[in-house]
A and B are shown apart, each in its own frame.
Chain A
């Protein structure tokens, strides 16, 4: 795969600020789905949530050298040392690698699912960014439940001996980008391996879960043990808002270079 022109210019600029005619080393690495982060999670409200389906539509992965990176010290911006992003100007790091395209990721059944081959310039990476997509209704049978949405979840939430089955459809705003999921790796021209992309039901740094604050029983207004969390279900508005925030946060994603 030819390296996009903008990556070459970035690579040259990063290489000590001295532009020469030499091309920076680059490497092609497969990007695959790693489902190990989707585990049963106990929420702050005491629900044990187990996912049986979890699909996400994303596009255009970018691997960066610095920028808005998730650390445990993040706090409210006027109390901490956070570099805050201006809307539309996310203060992301330099992009040195990318995997363009649109993808539907199966976080439960898709272990090892190959998304494609990313091209990366040699360097020290800190983060991965990507865009959230909305699946077109004509995307095919595998994505039927995702049609018109960004995320589709199914699972159970158990508390005090009561189990509630749920589905959740979550939509990202148009052109919504996720910036700064951890991808800490040193890539050289000799690097061989793959990049594993993960969704974490439990934030590996702060310990919060994707479903914190969601009161499944409160949404189950007819007490039939089944709930749908979706924009067109008014009783689920609060739950959908909380779930969307978590799913669109970099707290619950990362990528790992597996050599």
Chain B
């Protein structure tokens, strides 16, 4: 005769409670935030080779935000370089069941960044656009929405990832020199063509053997910029 695995009375009580109680609903406010690094720039002290970065524009297109069985299409372009007093740019709001949610996911369709990098008397300009089309899921964050109240979910974009020297290291260096060196025509504008012609050099692509030039490198990094609630990591899948 088969026997059922034992289950604690407490667990049974919790399951019964969960099946019979309506948790209610609340509102979830969703924002996209580039933190100080994108709004104010990356100071030289935060870079490993002394360059300082400022962004004139850091446009993102985010879609398909999903939490607790509700979804927000979004899809508008947001400029995360605009000052927000730490609030981020509002994407919209969702009505979700009250409670704790750990199933946030979203899609980053496009990233376009323009700005300057400065070291000493040298200034380099950049204006780059990528379409990562990456879906983030299983994010390391718990979003609490009270019954009849409001919770918040922050989709955090990390601009410094574009200047990481590794695709796989947990503690990469944050550098710009190789990108500056790609400006081979000396016009102080780092173009897409120049980046495509520049080998990644000492950068570490992990096992991404197809990432061999700096344009490909930046594209690969664009896939990795998405987080939640600051430092919460997500699994990322490219479509």
Which of chain A's residues have a CB closer than 8 A to the CB of B170? 87-88, 175
Segment from A46-54, A158-166, A184-192, A248-256 that makes contact with B: A248-256
Q: Is the CB of A82 within 8 A of B238?
A: yes
Query: CB distance A89 to B206 under 8 Å?
Result: no
Rounded to whole angstroms, the CA-CA distance of A205 and B206 in the bound complex is: 17
Q: Which of B131, B202, B204, B224 contacts A84 (CB 8 A)?
A: B224
Interface of A is mostly: loop
CB pair B204 A248 closer than 8 Å:
yes
Asked if A180 is at the interface (CB within 8 A of a chain B CB), the reply is yes
Query: How distant is B104 from chain A, measured CB to nearest CB, in Å?
Result: 15
Chain A minimum-CB-distance residue to B202: A241
Task: Please measure, in the bound complex, the distance between the C-alpha atom of A224 and the C-alpha atom of B139, giving whole angstroms.
Answer: 56
- B207 near A70: Cβ-Cβ < 8 Å: yes
Interface contact A85-B238, CB-CB below 8 Å = no
Q: Give the distance to chain B from A240, nearest Cβ to Cβ, in Å.
A: 8
Interface size on B, residues (CB 8 A): 40
Judge whether A74 and B166 touch: CB under 8 Å.
no
Chain A residues positioned under 8 Å from B211 (CB to CB): 76
Q: Which residues of A contact B238 (CB under 8 A)?
A: 77-78, 80-84
Instruction: Check if A74 sits within 8 Å of B5, measured CB to CB.
Output: no
Is A75 on the interface with B (CB-CB < 8 A)? Answer: yes
For the complex of A and B, 7 pairs with smallest distance between CB atoms: A88-B170, A250-B207, A249-B207, A76-B210, A77-B238, A84-B223, A89-B233
Q: Which residues of B does A touch, CB under 8 Å?
A: 5, 130-134, 161, 164, 166-172, 199-202, 204-211, 216, 219-220, 222-224, 233-239
Q: Which residues of A contact B (CB under 8 A)?
A: 18-21, 68, 70, 74-78, 80-91, 173-180, 206, 208, 237-238, 241, 244-246, 248-251
